[in-house]
Chains A and B, each alone.
Chain A
């Protein structure tokens, strides 16, 4: 899994791409939590548009970051989730806990 990060004012953008499973999450989790602790963003935006594979470990990762954001009284958005990733989030009811946002498709 690849992680791309950028900051904009009080927002932290994370773009995750590739496969998000237990193995991928192991290293990424600490990296992201360090970024949250350092930047203390008001909003964490997680772009899941380039996720090719996601299982329950990915789900745990997304919900874990939501919890981290709640801890610092921030909020979190999921941006353009890939079809399977969105199915997975809905299956676990995560779509009721975190806002899923779709932007206009500029890539086309």
Chain B
């Protein structure tokens, strides 16, 4: 049976200076599972995409700076499955399926590449997005960081 082994939660302002901060704290937490350099880079990139979405899109119509908050939760279980969620209380995504299409962007003028969700998808094992217009969006990603011993079995 897998069991949650560790957990943390943090709330920060949706300000672009926090992009680097958020990927560093999440990857530092994940490093407790002894991931490879590649795995850490995958997590950093995926988190950066999710957080950047909150900053660029979620609060584009919000004028009260204090309401622009990003909620990050991360955990891992005894099977070594690492999970991170990035949530906002912003405008929401009207059509998630469309938003997740590679190269789809609502903000080409600002050189948004439309690759955010594709990158999250390819750098993690599982990506789940829930969103409601006017309520907010939650992106949950998980990645197996400790398959090594369990997968190959044996007592060594």
Among B16, B23, B49, B113, contact of A26 (Cβ-Cβ < 8 Å): B16
Main secondary structure, interface of B, reads helix
Are B48 and A21 in touch, CB under 8 angstroms? yes
Among A25, A29, A64, A91, contact of B122 (Cβ-Cβ < 8 Å): A91
Q: Is A2 an interface residue (CB 8 A)?
A: no
Q: Is A57 an interface residue (CB 8 A)?
A: yes
For the complex, give the distance between the alpha carbons of A29 and B19 in Å.
18
In chain A, residues 50-66, which have Cβ atoms closer than 8 Å to a Cβ of chain B?
Answer: 53-57, 59-61, 63-64
Main secondary structure, interface of A, reads helix
For the complex, give the distance between the alpha carbons of A64 and B113 in Å.
9
Query: Closest approach, in angstroms, between the C-beta of B18 and any C-beta of chain A?
Result: 8
Are B111 and A92 in touch, CB under 8 angstroms? no
Q: Is B151 an interface residue (CB 8 A)?
A: no
Query: Closest approach, in angstroms, between the C-beta of A77 and any C-beta of chain B?
Result: 19
Q: Is B75 an interface residue (CB 8 A)?
A: no
Are B115 and A22 in touch, CB under 8 angstroms? no
Interface size class of B (residues with CB under 8 A): 20 to 34
For the complex, give the distance between the alpha carbons of A84 and B115 in Å.
15
For the complex, give the distance between the alpha carbons of A55 and B19 in Å.
11
Query: Closest approach, in angstroms, between the C-beta of A21 and any C-beta of chain B?
Result: 5
Q: Is A23 an interface residue (CB 8 A)?
A: yes
Q: Is B112 an interface residue (CB 8 A)?
A: yes
Collect the chain A residues with CB atoms within 8 Å of residue B23's CB. 53
Among A25, A29, A55, contact of B119 (Cβ-Cβ < 8 Å): A55
Query: Closest approach, in angstroms, between the C-beta of B31 and any C-beta of chain A?
Result: 16
Are A22 and B52 in touch, CB under 8 angstroms? yes
**Can you list 24 A-B pairs, Cβ within 8 angstroms, ordered by A?**
A19-B20, A21-B19, A21-B20, A21-B48, A21-B52, A23-B16, A26-B16, A53-B44, A55-B45, A55-B48, A55-B119, A56-B52, A56-B112, A56-B113, A56-B114, A56-B115, A56-B116, A57-B111, A57-B112, A60-B111, A60-B113, A88-B45, A91-B115, A92-B113
Question: Can you name 5 extra interface pairs (CB under 8 A) apart from A23-B16, A53-B48, A56-B49?
Answer: A22-B52, A55-B45, A55-B119, A60-B113, A84-B41
Closest 4 CB pairs of A and B: A23-B16, A60-B111, A60-B113, A56-B115
Write the residues of chain A forming the contact surface with B, with a CB cutoff of 8 angstroms.
Answer: 19, 21-23, 25-26, 29, 53-57, 59-61, 63-64, 84, 88, 91-92
